[in-house]
Structure 1
């Protein structure tokens, strides 16, 4: 788990996060995050890059081995579930491995529209002490279509929030770190003319990571993230305002369950106030196994 990668991720997202976002220790000589520091939630998404060459990718620049055959070639990140072992986190400079496989494929019929092909990937990450992260990633594939941006309102008031504007540089750097060559994130002409978006799309995993870092900014002392179950509702675009939100559950209360578990609803809204991503984070005492 390369220290430079963790440091570059921090440099990519920190300028867009609240000033209260926790500082992480740095090596004095190089400014890198030092060995053995626990990875921030979502950092695993910029590790374990694909080994595919450009010729092995789909025309949209993404992994061909995860995609169904034509004509289901337009892809969106639909959400997922991230489960973290708080007793054994991934750590900077540790030797770690990832096993990835297709765990489920479902055809979703839709009234008045072509079906969706839902592909679920399972990703299991281990270090020398055993399992650290288990992720279930949901991808939706469809026939090429002019996507309509639906506006879904969220009827909850946040306990904390933060506004940012994703930039081309932020998206480029995240694409490079995650080795993500999906053209909708960096090729504006492709995004507009082929997939009919108004501009470059913000990565689903980047939105997920930003929400988790907002939570880190407001994390109660002695607690840590155990899981995040989330769903992408609609896309967000470069140079358009994004609002990150959090709400303690039950409403406006930090009361914990008998085992100390705390739930927090996280969601992101686009520049029209429409819901873009939502999920529930489970937080546990750090001494819980």
Structure 2
């Protein structure tokens, strides 16, 4: 690919939002955590993805349901885009109900060639601040890919024995859960709710389970099992997870925190490393 996107490096944008209790409590309910959080409570880890919506009019959307390219992010011409992973540092809690800001900067744009063809990686840094200052520093890795050949992406095959993991939770990612998460994050990407598009246009065998949803499940699992505060979360998508197949959410403690992962039918979908700091 000959396009040069170096002019996009260093581009910045800012957004502000109120961390409305209704959104975080709606996600908690969707994940089976019925007890609501009151204003002033610490926002659960990764629930900041429910805020700072980028809502565009219909003419501002691309055919995949995402905002049309060429705004903040570079207009990479490859048809498939996804959130490949990221790295987060938690400096202090964001608080439910407080006003927060997000300052975003494009750190790099890289083109690579692999077995699946041309790939373009865009890394974006977000600094999220609450009323007490910077709370979260995050780097997101967004990958753009060539179109997939029909039948090249396979569904999870058959049943698998329960994984041997000290921590484990089973989640069934049905269409209702995927719809709720898309709505709460204002994520219009059609691969998560439009089955004919996901299968016919992007060659997936079903609806794709959101990477951020899987990461949130992993962070929740770690928070429920660790006593020291979580200060770092590094995650990477391994292979897509799909609706209609049981999702295993697994973890094990380490000397510095935990290793956590999701899997379907014995194959890992997402892996993450948790780092802990000293307990207050």
Aligned residues: 252
Are residues 113 and 93 of structure 1, via their aligned partners in 2, closer, same or farther at CA, if it must alter by over 3 Å?
A: closer
Question: Which TM-score applies when normalising by structure 2?
Answer: 0.84
Runs ≥4 in structure 1, deviation > 4 angstroms? none
Between the aligned partners of 2:30 and 2:107, the Cα distance in structure 1 is: 31
SS state at 2:191 partner: helix
Among 192, 201, 206, which residue is 1:194 paired with?
201
- Deviation of the 1:215 alpha carbon: 1.2
How far off its partner does 1:73 sit? 1.6
Offset at residue 77 of structure 1 (A): 1.7
| Structure 2 unaligned regions, length at least 5 | 1-18
TM-score, structure 1 as length reference: 0.82
Map 1:59-98 onto structure 2 (within 5 A): 59-63=63-67, 64=69, 65=71, 66=73, 68-70=75-77, 72-85=78-91, 88-98=92-102
> What's the counterpart of residue 268 of structure 1?
262
* Alignment-derived partner of residue 116 in structure 1: 119
Measure, in 2, the Cα distance between the counterparts of 1:102 and 1:54. 25
Q: The residue matched to 1:177 in structure 2 has which SS?
A: helix
Q: Which residue of 1 aligns with 2:130?
A: 127
Query: Separation in 2 of the partners of 1:161 and 1:5?
Result: 26
Whole-angstrom CA distance in 1 between matches of 2:274 and 2:53: 26
Give the structure 1 partner of residue 103 of structure 2. Answer: 99
Q: Give the aligned partner of residue 6 of structure 2.
A: none
Distance in 1, Cα, partners of 2:63 & 2:165: 40
Distance (whole Å) between structure 1 residues aligned to residue 234 and residue 24 of structure 2: 23
CA–CA separation in structure 1 for the residues paired with 2:106 and 2:22: 30
- Is residue 234 from structure 1 mapped to residue 239 from structure 2 by the alignment? yes
Q: Distance in 1 between matches of 2:244 and 2:62?
A: 27
Contact 1:150 1:234 in 2 (8 A): no
- The aligned counterpart of 1:284 is 277
Instruction: For residue 183 of structure 1, report the CA deviation from its aligned partner.
Output: 0.3
2:223 is equivalent to residue 181 of structure 1: no
Please state if 1:52 is matched with 2:56.
yes
Any conservation in 2 of the 1:61–1:183 contact (CA below 8 Å)? yes
Partner of 1:43: 47
- Please provide the CA RMSD for this pair: 2.0
Aligned partner of 2:153 among 144, 148, 154 = 148
